[in-house]
Amino acid sequence: MIVPSLPLESGLATIKILDIYKNSDIIYNMNLVNNKEIKFKNGLVIPVGTNLNVIFKDGGTVCALAGGSAGGVPVTMKLRCSSLPRYFTKFKAPSLKTMEKWSDDGVAKSMLGQVVEPDGYDSEGSPSWMLVAGII
């Protein structure tokens, strides 16, 4: 199924992506460049410097990668949110000590930096770091 064109973060271009979430609402779509080669179990490899869209779906700890190509094959793959810091500099996982402080305060930050409940999601659909780390 093809989803209507979604604007990239810059607002200058649009893309079409496959709805790999099976008709679910796509909450947030950001255009990023990976800083490390991404290897999938099926053998596809996304080279460093590939322009990809990271798509968060509300209520999950799995996001989608779309755009670019791996070995000439267009990329539309699912990826655990916990893997994003490994491949994109935009995401920096907090320390366990920081997450302990959040837990004591009853708040946390989402992957996109918004304050949320420890088991919650922000307005763009990205999960709290505590959910991503598997603490909750």
Tell me the pLDDT tens digit for each residue of 49-90. 988 888 887 678 898 888 877 777 787 888 899 999 999 999
CA-based diameter of the chain, in Å?
48
What is the pTM assigned to this prediction?
0.74
Tell me the pLDDT tens digit for each residue of 32-52. 999 999 888 888 888 899 888
Spell out the residues 6+ positions from residue 33 whose beta carbon is closer than 8 angstroms to its own. 49, 50, 51, 52, 88
Dihedral pair phi/psi, residue 46, rounded to 5°: -100, 115
